[in-house]
Structure 1
Amino acid sequence: MRPTTEPAATHAAPALTPAQRAALAHVRETALRERPAALAAIARALAGSGVAHGPEHLIAAVGANGRLTLNFHPDRLLADGRTVADALTAEGVYRSQFETGISNGGLTAFPGGDRDRWEETLFGGAYQTAGVRPADRPKYGGLNLLDHPDGACPRFGSCHLRLRPQVLARATFCFGDSHLGPRDLGTVDVFEPVLAALLAATDGTGVSLGVPGDVVTLTRALLRRREDAAWAPGAAGRALDDYIEAQVHGELSLARDVAAMVVDPSFRGTETGATLAALARRHGFALRWHAGFALPVDRIDAEFRGPAIPPLAARVHAEFARPGELIDAALIGRAAVSVVTEPSRWADRGPTEVTLQHLKQLWHVLVRFGAPRAT
């Protein structure tokens, strides 16, 4: 694929609400308190690995090269019956879990739910104040420091939006998923606690943001000069559990804030694919494709996400696939739509939410073990 140019931004950043400003300030103040200890930890990690660069070089590289990505499944249904792709096309904004009522993680985004409590801790109660609307809540994604073509957090979706660099200024970060109560928080200008945690995890596990590596290879990757206009997708990151979560505060406008949308190739030639192409044209950003994931139905691992997943995969394949067709994102999506629109068809498997959860886990198996789709 030839490199393509990302359209230039043409609009000013949105005005933030008092709650959004307070959330950003809370995380920044927390990170500032931890900055001295984090700087010392970064310096030790670099020196211990023989890296000559100082912490300031890595921090600068994060701001210069880091890109926010928001993974999503375009073919999932909202409460009103529209697909996510249809809603994005019509509305031109990316909405939070508190607005959509759906999630590719846990379904707890409501007042008093787990997501609400996690945000209360993470943002110092900023979003629990009077007058905060569902639309004011942050939108979740990841910081794609290693340019994974499947996005920073593929567990949450087969496609992703790649945001413009200026959105970094209104994002907060934590190392790992926020439902785990992370202590290592930061903003793009006070990123040291998150970087220290990333270096420590890399040194301790030999894995960095989903791929094998040590502190030296991670440092080289962070400092490598990138051309923003170039798109040269490599191997998938498959970072199901190893990522830097990002929370974006303020409205996410597709026309203003999105540089590109990267789509799973299983949607080529489908209605969903056509909708996504129209979405990119309508809102003026680039449309790209990553290599995707595919598995034969008899190759679904029974241990990674449990023994319920291979029988589910066999049923999905038998009812929705053509003979010889592989398990891929679009096939799982067709089953997910059926679970919502034809619940009686799946009643033998128990509650609808259980089957939907198992389909999410089937997607995780596909990301972990799937091969790139032949194109």
Structure 2
Amino acid sequence: MNTALPPGPARRRAWEHVAALSSGAPLDAGLRVTLNFHPDRTVAGRPVLERLGEDGLYVSQFVTGTSNGGLTAHPGGDRWRWESRMFGGAYDRVDPGERPVYGALDVRRAPFGAAPRFGSAHFRLTADVLGAATFCYPDSAAEPVRFGIAARMSGLVELAAADRRDALDDYIEAQIHTPVRLDRDVEALVLDPAYRGTAVEAAAGRLPCPVEWHGGFR
């Protein structure tokens, strides 16, 4: 697991703010963060996978203006306020491209990713990304008070394991404080078999990362 701090002063301040609130033993290095999303949606009129292929980066809703959840990524909006609270104001005055992207820690090693509420497809990130991530439980929308980093995480995992939540809400949120490059930081794009033989599969095949398939939802 790469333990390097996130690049850039704002990202580093945000990560260090959460690190100071974290406790417990290190995270199991075999776990992965997944970024669940809907692969058939569009961003600014372009298919999302097409845009990802051209840009080579997975970026936040502050950049795209779209979301698999609420559309509140603007100054004074809920997402802006939640980030200001969680990260000690580190991102309050930065360019949108510097803000973190969101995923979830796949503690249950689910084939369809850690947070299918946000989409049936997911990018499974590499182990090296864990060192630049922070974590919270529950979701940041609930204004959590328990946090973790890869080096101090067991308390958060135990809290989530003991909780009883709906399957769609049963995840530890992850915030990635480094640019997520598809050619470097993604182990695989994992798709729902419903997209076999579609334009989604064709677009996925043009991405600079392997494509895998999960077994579908039953």
Alignment TM class, shorter chain as reference: over 0.9
Instruction: Point out the structure with the larger strand share.
Output: 2
Aligned residue in 1 for 2:8? 17
Distance 1:248 1:189, change over 3 A: same
Q: Secondary structure at the match of 1:266?
A: helix
In 2, are the aligned partners of 1:14 and 1:251 still within 8 Å (CA)? Answer: no
Q: Identify the match of residue 175 of structure 1 among 128, 137, 145.
A: 137
1:158 has 2:82 as partner: no
> Equivalents in 1 of 2:147, 2:198: separation in Å?
40
Aligned residue in 2 for 1:289? 213
Give, as a single letter, the amino acid of the residue that structure 2 aligns with 1:275.
A
> Equivalents in 1 of 2:178, 2:97: separation in Å?
9
Aligned residue in 2 for 1:143? 105
Q: What is the CA-CA distance between 1:17 and the residue it aligns to?
A: 1.5
Give CA-to-partner distance per residue, 1:100-139, whole Å, 9 cap, x none.
Answer: 111111010111110000000111110013xx11110100
Give, as a single letter, the amino acid of the residue that structure 2 aligns with 1:26.
H
What is the root-mean-square deviation in Å for CA atoms of aligned residues?
A: 1.7
Structure of greater Rg = 1
> Equivalents in 1 of 2:5, 2:138: separation in Å?
27
Q: Identify the match of residue 99 of structure 1 among 60, 63, 72.
A: 63
Instruction: Point out the structure with the larger helix share.
Output: 1
Give CA-to-partner distance per residue, 1:154-182, whole Å, 9 cap, x none.
Answer: 01111000000010000000112100001
Give CA-to-partner distance per residue, 1:60-90, whole Å, 9 cap, x none.
Answer: 5x332210100011111112x1111110111
In 2, are the aligned partners of 1:14 and 1:250 still within 8 Å (CA)? Answer: no
Q: Identify the match of residue 277 of structure 1 among 188, 205, 211.
A: 205
Q: What is the CA-CA distance between 1:14 and the residue it aligns to?
A: 9.4
Q: Identify the match of residue 83 of structure 1 among 43, 47, 57.
A: 47
> Equivalents in 1 of 2:159, 2:60: separation in Å?
27
5+ long unaligned stretches in structure 2: none
> Equivalents in 1 of 2:48, 2:5: separation in Å?
23
Moved over 6 A (4+): none
1:114 has 2:78 as partner: yes
Distance 1:73 1:134, change over 3 A: same
More relative contact order, 1 or 2 (CA 8 Å, 6+ apart)? 2
Distance 1:242 1:15, change over 3 A: closer
Aligned residue in 1 for 2:181? 253
Give, as a single letter, the amino acid of the residue that structure 2 aligns with 1:167.
V
Q: Secondary structure at the match of 1:198?
A: helix
Q: Secondary structure at the match of 1:255?
A: coil
The share of aligned pairs that are identical, in percent, is 49
5+ long unaligned stretches in structure 1: 1-12, 40-58, 211-238, 294-370
Q: What is the CA-CA distance between 1:272 and the residue it aligns to?
A: 1.4
Give, as a single letter, the amino acid of the residue that structure 1 aligns with 2:155.
P
Q: What is the CA-CA distance between 1:15 and the residue it aligns to?
A: 6.2
> Equivalents in 2 of 1:103, 1:290: separation in Å?
23
In 1, are the aligned partners of 2:125 and 2:185 still within 8 Å (CA)? Answer: yes
TM-score under structure 1 length normalisation: 0.55
> Equivalents in 2 of 1:246, 1:63: separation in Å?
15
Distance 1:278 1:91, change over 3 A: same
> Equivalents in 2 of 1:24, 1:181: separation in Å?
17
Give, as a single letter, the amino acid of the residue that structure 2 aligns with 1:158.
S
Aligned residue in 2 for 1:125? 89
Q: Identify the match of residue 185 of structure 1 among 122, 147, 159.
A: 147
1:27 has 2:18 as partner: yes
> Equivalents in 1 of 2:64, 2:55: separation in Å?
12
In 2, are the aligned partners of 1:68 and 1:168 still within 8 Å (CA)? Answer: yes
In 2, are the aligned partners of 1:104 and 1:156 still within 8 Å (CA)? Answer: yes
Q: Secondary structure at the match of 1:185?
A: strand
